[in-house]
Amino acid sequence: MPDIRLPAEAKYKNELDALAAHDDKPRPPGWALSPRAVEMYILGSPKPVGGVTITPKYVGDRGIVQVCIATLASDRALMLVGEPGTAKSWLSEHLSAAVSGTSGLVVQGTAGTSEDHIKYSWNYALLLAQGPSPEALVPSPILRAMRTGKFARFEEVTRTSPEIQDSLISILSEKQVSVPELGEITSAQRGFNLIATANTRDRGVNEMSAALKRRFNFVTVPVVEDLEQEIQIVTKREAELRTDYQVGVPPPEELSRVLLTLFQELRKGVTKDGKTKVRTPGAVLSTAEAISVLFNSAILAQQFGSGTVTSQELAASLVGAVVKEQEDDVKALREYMETVAKGRPGPWKELYTASKKLLRG
């Protein structure tokens, strides 16, 4: 059975191989590509490389990508911060794939993340049978990255407790992990580094200490505010998902534009012309959420509809994305439909009609 989702280094192997074969720029120790080639992989190339088209993986500010790459080339850890759904994890994955050839050395931060997830644990059957030994040691993704000179990724750092966060300090400062049970110290190989992510909405959950913050260079990944740019991102990623999942119903361009306009206006609390204020729902109306809405609409149309995405499928998917648990979200979307969508022509009016039954209350 095929994998549901291939890691970046597998999905874009042809691109990475072509870039590596034609990369004549200096490479930092342990890097598979030069910083310039990493930039080309992330942002795409206007010309094929070795006959291979290099597609853009991240659509956004080139300067942000360059700062990320320069930070990692300096051996300083990188912290990507921003609103949920702004492609922090996506950018982290592709940076790791391009530099290290693997994006799979990941620690997922949660309330249950322990120091074992960051350093090491034990195979207790072997530990009981033969005592502490290298064979009984179970290295964490970060320790494996240190041993092999690769990038490790730490998702949602601020969702872990302060004590767990601070266990990163010695790793980032000394680039070493001590295993006292074996009387040994593992020193990181050249090429090791850490890319972490944190959501700005999680501020105050488990705020990072000043000491830990100093070990990172912070780069803010912004919410996409340009409508045309966000449409480009969403339609590209949604098309990739349809290819991966063999869904053959592309949403009409006009509906994609309606959805992204709606998302941007609800996020900002005002219509594009600045004339009408709208209530902002509590849900995260991110670019990632918009991709999910369009993709879900395509599945509905293919499996249960006419085979063409209409306002009916878009409305059904939209309500589920905007309206989570809060009654205020229902009111916000209903109010937007009545004051904004209802008065606009074509697909806007159709979306209003399709959503009216779904938003009764």
Q: What is the pLDDT of residues 29-65, one digit of tens each?
A: 999 999 999 999 999 999 999 999 999 999 989 999 9
Percent of the chain with pLDDT over 90: 83
pLDDT for residue 325: 60
pLDDT in tens, 144-193: 999 999 999 999 999 999 999 999 999 999 999 999 999 999 999 999 99
Question: Cα dist. 60→86, 143, 197, 229 in Å?
Answer: 10, 32, 17, 8
pLDDT for residue 361: 55
The verdict on domain 8-220 having CATH code 3.40.50.300 is: yes
- What's the mean per-residue pLDDT of the chain? 93
Give 204's pLDDT tier (boundaries 50, 70, 90): low
Indicate if the pLDDT at residue 228 is higher than 70: yes
Q: Going by C-beta distance under 8 Å and a sequence separation of 6 or more, which residues neighbour residue 60?
A: 87, 221, 222, 224, 229
pLDDT for residue 203: 62
Extract the tokens encoding 6: 């291939």
- CA dist., res. 246 & res. 244, Å (int): 6
For residue 305, the tally of other CB atoms under 10 A from its CB is 17
pTM above 0.85, yes or no: yes
- CA dist., res. 216 & res. 125, Å (int): 38
User: Where is average pLDDT lowest: 180-194, 290-304, 309-323, 324-338?
Assistant: 324-338
Residue that has been written with the tokens 């592309």 in this structure:
250
Q: Residue 139: beta bridge partners?
A: 120
